Amino acid sequence: MVSINRFVSAIAISVVFLTPLSLYASTEKYVESFAVRDVRLTESPFKHAQDLDICYLLGLDADRLLAPYLREAGLSPKAESYPNWENSGLDGHIGGHYLSAMAYMYASTGNEEISYRLDYMLGELKRCQDASVDGYIGGVPGSKRIWTEISEGKIDANGFGLNGAWVPLYNIHKIYAGLRDAYLQAGRETARDMLVKLADWMLRLTSGLTDSQIQDMLISEHGGLNEIFADVAAITGDDRYIGLARRFSHRVLLEPLIAREDRLTGMHANTQIPKVIGFKRIADLAHDRQWDEASEYFWHTVVGNRSVSIGGNSVCEHFHPSDDFGSMLSSEQGPETCNTYNILRLTKMLYETSGDPRYMDYYERAIYNHILSSQNPVQGGFVYFTPMRPGHYKVYSQPQTSFWCCVGSGMENHARYGETIYSHRGDSLYVNLFIPSILKWGDAVIEQRNAFPFEESTTIVIDETYGKEDFTLFMRCPGWTDRDGVEVTLNGSPFDVRIDNGYICVKREWSRGDSLTVSLPMSLRAERIPDSSSYYSFVYGPLVLAANIGKERLDGLFADEGRGSHVAKGPMIGLDEIPAVISDRNDLLNHFEPDGQKPLSFRLRGLSLPKYEGMILEPFFGLHECRYMVYWPVYTESEWISVKEELGIDEQRKLAIEEITADKVVCGEQQPESDHFVTMEKSSAGDDDGRHWRVASGWFAYKMSTKGSVVKRLRVTFRPEARRDAIVFIDGNELCRFASTSPDMIVSQEFEIPQKLIDGKDKIELRVSRCDMKSTPHVYELRLLAE
């Protein structure tokens, strides 16, 4: 347990550096969340995750993270860059996340080693900014050429690139955010000065661009730059930055949201979510109800219609159709951790301006079941995709090899748990989450003690009051609990309370040592997947339950330096080989019985495959380094008889192709194309109800790998269209041509690859070009097949 005296001392020290948060606050907040510096976690799974995160942060070499910045500033790096995304085009993006993570971690814990590392990073980055003269800081490779071209109005943007670079605006957004957080969370005035200079650099860079040119530029993923510029406006009081924030707000996403139109299908999910955070931030500062409602509509659309039970969303990083979760259940690339990191940030903002506890119901669901589960509880590695495909598994980062976006947001996630546990409004204190912790509220010190969720209650203890003796305590009465079963005791005696707007309300004159205990009865529920197909997950209280179904072939469980090493590449278990629950859908919960061996675990009976009968379901956040099931197919006896043979045939066909695939790229999907180093000329991408394609009146090309296999054939999936054809080259040598006059039918064709074209090669360039017609067909997928 954290010492109260040590905690108060740490707070007193850190406050010296901090500018009042009113500069950063929304102008119309209903409740104000406490800063993380006001909260200290005590023993719980969240505290364990926080401690592991400190080890992860301190295990990284700051000089290797700084190398791209020094290189671009014309200074000599002190160490070589890290590998993976950090030396293949997105150089420097982790450095910004690292600043944010350390700022939050120092504010959350007072850890002096973190503080020293934060100051060292800022000092080196200031050297870079000073050397650049114009205020720029960044690790984007070849940045001077890129920014010069943009300032001159030469803009060549696509979803994953800008002027030949891998999402440079997304990249520099991370350093903007890191500087902001170093100032606002850790009180570093140097970071404030650096942030404003970097914002001024962008003002100058874009001053000669029209709004239309900036909108063209925003086609490329750019993180939440609009939010950053709004924050700079709040910090400085200078309206020029609000103007810049509005200019950097992408109208292609904003305008449909204002019209309450869901056009998200096929969009790259984590490109959109930070934009909406920016819309909300601008709305709060500018009292813009229209932008506020657009942000709210987006949240309800994503969380209500496009998310699974763990709180995550997206398949292969893109929004799938809201009425078809089939790809979610079949893909090894399920919800992305970055998405939930950003949705949680938006959730916090919406909660603060509404006070609606239902936002906290979602927040709680997501941090327990997605965020907490995305960190390995032993070595601290982070997860990119959390597959919902039954029987698949997660891959964990390693500190010296893995530098994906979800490593960056992962560093931050476990440093930020304290920011939403408590909030306040005037003399009222709100308890939103049941995470053991100590709160310093002005002169008062209040502790929350519990073993939640392993015990169904929480206790608030008044350790010190100092002038806040008379206040109202609002404790969230979560949507998952039985309100009739809620019991409250004060100092051991039953105490009558009222439930108001989703909160248990206790107004009294408090005394030191007062102890208020609230019971929160939990029960088991079956939740159907949102498209109403026959898949269910099972939830106990706020906890999604899952089953460990084995540890076979966890290939690449701990990621190496490879560009695609964040994807679990072990063999998929056929959906005909995973257990289904054979039951009437109204009788599902009668198939469960408490396990009795450990808390929160249940045995499941009535399964289609006898070897799985009586398997144990337990909280998903505790399952690691194994294959698992979160979603379960449910069939009646008669449905199972009719579906099992057809399911087996379909799965065997799909898995047979996967088994002989050496490499594949889904055309038009942002990350798979980036991982295959896409290049192009006169090419564009799109999607048909979430299925992505690429087309070209010029050409497009990928670097593909044989993975040491003897590759025999190329499989091309495309949509034949009249007056469209294509020619395919391997390393400049013609391989095949394809065309058809039978439109509107997606087909797959296979072409033999002469061994002389690929003998001895691990990497090849596969180029698709138009042939005699004006354009290629829509190409969906390219696969190299081995035997």
User: Which pLDDT belongs to residue 659?
Assistant: 86
Higher per-residue confidence, 680 vs 742: 680
Cβ-Cβ contacts under 8 Å for 704 (sequence gap 6 or more): 663, 665, 676, 763, 764, 765, 766, 782, 784
CB 522 within 8 A of CB 480: yes
Nearest to 494, CA basis, from 470, 461, 462, 519 = 519
Rounded to a whole number of angstroms, the CA Rg of the chain reads 27
* Buried/exposed 117-135: b ≥16 CB within 10 Å, e otherwise: bbbebbebbbbbbeebeeb
Q: What gap in Å lies between CA 178 and CA 55, rounded to an integer?
A: 19
Q: What gap in Å lies between CA 566 and CA 404, rounded to an integer?
A: 8
pLDDT digits (tens, 9 = 90+) for 468-496: 678 999 999 999 999 999 999 999 999 99
Angle between helices 240-247 and 269-286 (to 10 degrees): 150
**Confidence category of residue 719, pLDDT binned at 50, 70, 90:** confident
Write out the two tokens for 119: 């100051």
Q: What gap in Å lies between CA 417 and CA 49, rounded to an integer?
A: 10
Q: What gap in Å lies between CA 680 and CA 699, rounded to an integer?
A: 6
Q: Is the pLDDT of residue 10 over 80?
A: no
Q: Is the pLDDT of residue 787 over 90?
A: no
pLDDT digits (tens, 9 = 90+) for 495-545: 999 998 999 999 999 999 999 999 999 999 999 999 999 999 999 999 999
Q: Is the pLDDT of residue 425 over 50?
A: yes
Q: Is the pLDDT of residue 16 over 50?
A: no
pTM of the shown model: 0.91
**Confidence category of residue 740, pLDDT binned at 50, 70, 90:** low
Q: What gap in Å lies between CA 7 and CA 463, rounded to an integer?
A: 13
Q: What is the mean pLDDT of the chain?
A: 92
Residues in the chain: 787
User: Which pLDDT belongs to residue 12?
Assistant: 34
Write out the two tokens for 782: 């390219």
**Confidence category of residue 183, pLDDT binned at 50, 70, 90:** very high
Q: Taking residues 690-701, report their average pLDDT.
A: 90
Write out the two tokens for 699: 């050409």
CA 681 to chain centre: 31
Strand boundaries in 469-562, DSSP class E: 470-476, 488-490, 493-494, 498-500, 503-509, 515-519, 524-528, 535-540, 543-550
User: Which pLDDT belongs to residue 742?
Assistant: 63
